[in-house]
């Protein structure tokens, strides 16, 4: 990573100049710097941008329609508290029927123009947290629910509709 940053810094300061004039040679140095930076960042535990944004594991093999047990596993893979996993699975089953691509409302938008997406029906008011990606959707639920301590953002919880889903 240090080498990649050094190459990019040297280019920016004019310390490294291409041997021949033209875009091609300069582009090579820029690409080399970016690749070195990206490669080093991906390999380091703290330097990767993806790790910083998405959380503990950042991916899962779970997808499609999930059972309660699979939803509990997804919750935990996304960094959710094991003690809240059962409730999380019940919420997801009540919200989406365990379907990855569930969307509510199905027939159109809410009056405010937002929609709910994925297993945990994350509303698009939450920006990039609303996703159909299984890990991302579960991670959003972990974040929004304060790791399972506050389910008040979910209508199914407010109405008690999660009870008996799992």
Same domain, 113 and 146: yes
Domain that holds residue 133: 68-159
Question: Sign of the CA dihedral 91, 94, 96, 100?
Answer: positive
The per-residue pLDDT for 27 is 52
Rounded Cα distance, 68 and 61, in Å: 16
Same domain, 48 and 72: no
Reported pTM = 0.63
Higher pLDDT, 23 or 160: 160
pLDDT at residue 56 is higher than 80: no
Higher pLDDT, 57 or 106: 106
Same domain, 153 and 85: yes
Same domain, 74 and 154: yes
- The CATH number that applies at residue 74 is 1.10.530.10
Number of separate domains in the chain: 2
Mean pLDDT, the chain, as a whole number?
Answer: 75
Rounded Cα distance, 41 and 39, in Å: 5
Same domain, 83 and 140: yes
């Amino acid at each position: 990573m240090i080498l990649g940053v050094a190459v990019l810094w040297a280019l920016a300061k004019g310390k490294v100049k291409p041997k021949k004039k033209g875009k091609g040679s300069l582009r090579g140095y820029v690409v080399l710097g970016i690749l070195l930076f990206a490669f080093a960042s991906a390999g380091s535990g703290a330097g990767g941008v993806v790790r910083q944004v998405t959380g503990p594991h950042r991916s899962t093999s779970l997808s499609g329609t999930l059972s309660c047990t699979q939803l509990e596993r997804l919750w935990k893979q996304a960094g959710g508290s094991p003690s809240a996993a059962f409730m999380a699975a019940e919420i997801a089953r009540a919200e989406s029927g365990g379907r990855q691509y569930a969307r509510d409302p199905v027939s159109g938008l809410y009056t405010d123009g937002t929609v709910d997406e994925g297993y945990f029906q994350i509303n698009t008011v939450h920006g990039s947290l609303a996703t159909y990606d299984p890990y991302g959707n579960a991670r959003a639920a972990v974040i929004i629910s304060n790791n399972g301590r506050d389910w008040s953002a979910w209508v199914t919880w407010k109405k008690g509709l999660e009870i008996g889903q799992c």
